[in-house]
Structure formats: structure tokens, C-alpha cells
Amino acid sequence: MSSASREPARQDPATWDPATRFAGRPGFRFGPPERAVEVSSRALMAPMMGYNEAPLRRICRRYGSGLAVTEMVKPEKLLRGDPNVLRDLEFADEERPLGVQIAVRDEEELLPALELLAPRGFDFVDLNMGCPLKKECNKGWGAALLKDPAKVARLVAASVAAVDVPVTVKVRTGYELEERTAPEVVEGAIEAGAALVCVHGRTKMGWYREENDLSAIADVVAAARGRVPVIGNGDVVDLDTALAMFEQTGCDAVMIGRGAVGNPWVFREVDHYLRCGERLERPDFATVRELFEEHMEGVAEIFGERKGFRQVRRYAFYYFGRFGLDNAWRARAAQAKTRAELAPLLDEIERGQLSAAS
């Protein structure tokens, strides 16, 4: 990779204070200069199975995420033309820069899938080598690859040769609880041409039973030696946890997953603080409701009114959770079958529970 797209090397933890390190550089770029992806913010939306439909991607981009990524695509489903996969690959320009995340197992599946994806115009391809689900790992996908750094390098090299956009990699710190193989995996991936690396601070076997290990992410940052941006992921849910990730790992950006579901403002909060050193006030109920209704409308346009509502109803608990919802309200909301049935419940919050907001 040309030095024009590299971040400066970071060796001394004393330089990891984001206010100092990112002064005058609120965004970053990755990839070779002739096809580099420009990222406007260092707070990024994570790919999440079951959540990253187009309406949420658009919302997160509008509220400060530097980029967006699709849900993980399985090559076997793409190759047989699964209509659900093809639907999920549709996007609008307002989502750019947008990457497509693809499950990786072997070149025989991967390369034909990349050939099918190329005409769709994604800005980068993200190889998922961190999914911890047992059923996926048993098939050789996701975090199973962390046991074979040489294979990771081969798959990255094959992907880089097959596409005309940057290739990125998402990994965990290792497979087994006590084996932190990510530095070796990442070293091979970078040498093979990976333009960016995202690392989640848990092992596959630890999943969410172990603490997110920021020191292990820092080890990956050290292994990268400033050659490509390294993104820190895991337990980043607000500004304070984002700052802890920056300060304790030296990463170039943070990737936020479930912490952004119902709270897309988190991207703007992080981005604004890095630019200005100021904390933004949280949005009021009216603003939250307006965005939730927009989200519902967007999902309904894709799935239809009833199926779309079933898909998006769960988001109500994320959007409005901080407004003092009690168990009775949650139970009634879970029974709502349409937007019209949910609307009076939202009116209740506005009339009587705003004082409980925190």
C-alpha cells in the first residue's frame, strides 16, 4: 500500500489520546491511492446479522457513521440466487461508502461470489473471519479461519486479485480462550493486501463470556505497524466506551454494533467529540420518535406493512428504552401487530414518562 493512504505508526501509548492523535484528521482513508475509500468519521457502523438492512444503514450514515456495511453474505446463497440475499444487497448512494461483507471458507466458493458482487458497485469487500456462531464455524466459516493464518493470507490474496476495490478483514483476537493468534493472522492478511483490519476483542470460544480484551486489540495495532488502519470493536456503546477503546488500544477508529441499534446518534456524539472536544446532548423524545417512525416506514417499504412491522417492532425497545419503560408497557408493545396499534403506546411515553428519561 502506498504511504499516501497509511496512518502514522503508533508506538508510544502516551500518544494514544484521540484528542491529540486525531487533531486536524477527523476522518481517514484506506486502500491504494487510485481506489482509496475516504471515511469522514472514526465512528463506524458494524455489520450485524439481522439488523443491517438498508433503512438502518441510511440512518446510521446520516447520523455520523463514517461508512456502512451489509449483513454477512454467504456465497452459497448468493450463487444460487437466494431472493432474500439479493434484496439485502440493494442500496442507495446515501449509504456510501458501503462495503459488502462476505463469509469466507475457500476460494472455490469465494471467487465466483466476488465475481457476482463486482457489478453491484460496492466500495469495498469485507471478509468475515470473526463470526463466532458454532454452526458457521463448524462449516469452516468465520472465526474457524483464525486457526489457520496461512489460509487467511491465501484467501485475502485471492480476493485482492479478484476485485477492483479495497479488501478488508474482520477478525477476533483468536479461536481458543488462551490463544491470541490475531497478530499473526493480521500480519499475514496485511502482507496479502488487506487494506484495513477490524478486530473484536474476544476469542471465538470466549464469545460474550469473556471480557473484551483491549490489550489484545492493542497487540493487533502494534502488529499492523501503521501500514493499514486498525478498527477496534467490542462493547463500544457510547462516547465513554469509544474513548476507552481509542485510549487503551491506539486504534484508528471504533466500530459500533448493537450500541447503535436504536441509538444512531452515538456516531455523531463520537465524531463531534473527536472534532471539537465537546459532548452533545442526547436527542429528545420527539426527535427519537420521528426517526423511529422513519425507520419503520423504510422497513415497511422493503418487507410490506405487516411483515415489516414484525421486523422492526423490536427496535421500539432500543429507541425508547431510556425513557422509563416498564414491563407492562413492553408487554403491550410486544403484542402490537401494526404501526397504528403501537402509536398510542408511544403517545403514552410522550404524555407521562418523559420525566423518567435518563
End-to-end CA distance of the chain: 46
Give the residue from 26, 22, 43 showing the smallest Cα distance to 265: 43
Domain closes at, from 276, 300, 318 = 276
Does residue 5 contact residue 31 with C-beta atoms inside 8 Å? yes
Tens-digit pLDDT profile for residues 274-321: 999 999 999 999 999 999 999 999 999 999 998 999 888 999 999 998
pLDDT confidence of residue 326 = 85
Residue 43: what are its φ and ψ, rounded to 5°? -115, 120
342 and 300 in one domain?
A: yes
pLDDT confidence of residue 14 = 54
Tens-digit pLDDT profile for residues 234-260: 999 999 999 999 999 999 999 999 899
269 and 336 in one domain?
A: no
Our answer to whether residue 131 is catalytic in this structure is yes
Point out the catalytic residue in the list 131, 137, 198, 251: 131
271 and 289 in one domain?
A: no
Does residue 109 contact residue 75 with C-beta atoms inside 8 Å? yes
346 and 252 in one domain?
A: no
Lowest mean pLDDT across 71-80, 127-136, 275-284:
127-136
Does residue 39 contact residue 71 with C-beta atoms inside 8 Å? no
Domain closes at, from 211, 244, 276 = 276
167 and 228 in one domain?
A: yes
Does residue 174 contact residue 135 with C-beta atoms inside 8 Å? no
CATH of the domain at 215: 3.20.20.70
Give the number of other CB atoms < 10 A from CB of residue 287.
11
289 and 217 in one domain?
A: no
297 and 173 in one domain?
A: no
List the domain range (segments joined by +) for residue 329.
285-356
Distances (CA, A) of 7 to 3, 21, 43, 168, 207: 8, 11, 16, 15, 30
pLDDT confidence of residue 51 = 81
268 and 289 in one domain?
A: no
173 and 63 in one domain?
A: yes
Q: Please state, in angstroms and rounded to a whole number, the distance separating the CA atoms of residues 260 and 347.
A: 24
Domain closes at, from 276, 303, 331 = 276
30 and 120 in one domain?
A: yes
271 and 161 in one domain?
A: yes
Tracing cell 476483542 back to the chain, one arrives at 201
Distances (CA, A) of 192 to 85, 87, 135, 149, 276: 28, 32, 28, 11, 37
pLDDT confidence of residue 13 = 58
15 DSSP 8-state letter: G
269 and 172 in one domain?
A: yes
One-letter amino acid of 201: G
- Beta-bridged to residue 167, according to DSSP, are 125
Tens-digit pLDDT profile for residues 20-40: 888 888 999 999 999 999 999
Portion of the chain with pLDDT greater than 90, in percent: 74
For residue 12, is pLDDT > 70? no
Does residue 100 contact residue 85 with C-beta atoms inside 8 Å? no
Q: Please state, in angstroms and rounded to a whole number, the distance separating the CA atoms of residues 233 and 231.
A: 7
For residue 8, is pLDDT > 50? no
Tracing cell 485475502 back to the chain, one arrives at 156
Q: Please state, in angstroms and rounded to a whole number, the distance separating the CA atoms of residues 162 and 275.
A: 37
Tens-digit pLDDT profile for residues 160-187: 999 999 999 999 999 888 889 999 999 9
Q: State the total domains in the chain.
A: 2
